[in-house]
Amino acid sequence: MAKRGRWREDEVVVISVTPVSRGVLRPLLATIGVVATIGVVGHYWHLVQAHQGVLALLCAGPPALLTATRSWQWRSHKIIVTSDRVIVRGGVLSRYESSYEMSDVLATRIEQRIRERLSRRGAVYLETAQGSAFLGVTRHPAALSRLIDAQRHQVERTSTPLDTVFSYDVDDVVPSVFKRLGRNEDARNS
């Protein structure tokens, strides 16, 4: 079983999203089409009817296996938005997990083509100081982006902001430096 429930103290899961399935529909339709074709052809030819099971296994087996593996891979990918971070989990045989702190997220970005806008799908990216992070293609990407932005604005930024300017008081530093320099000059002259 997968390791679940590794949440921090006072961390709350806001939403868990499974991205859009990719590459599952065509092998599924191919499997259904091959099985239906074998059934119809078997009705007219006795030889096909006698070996329907073997033909279905040989012809519909590979697309059925492809459908099963792609749906398994699709269902294993999750995007989890919590009160403190965004977690991307996935993988079938070798699992992976990426975590992005809300305080590190600078912005969210959505990429959609016209066809994806019509079907209400799109790719969601997180912009961090290290670069862009791809979350996945989801349904209603604008809603997910708004949720991440809302959580990002609720998180207190305890780290130092990027535009902070550090300065020091010159009056305290300069006299001590001149005193040390003056002592060194007096020691050299003696």
pLDDT in tens, 26-71: 888 888 998 888 888 888 888 877 888 888 888 888 888 888 887 7
Topology, domain 13-154: PH-domain like (2.30.29)
Band (2; pLDDT cuts 50, 70, 90): very low
Each domain of the chain, given as residue ranges in start order, spans: 13-154
Residue 175 has pLDDT above 70, yes or no: no
pLDDT in tens, 6-15: 777 778 888 8
b/e for 7-34, b at 16 or more Cβ within 10 A? eeeeeeeeeebebbeeebeebbebbeeb
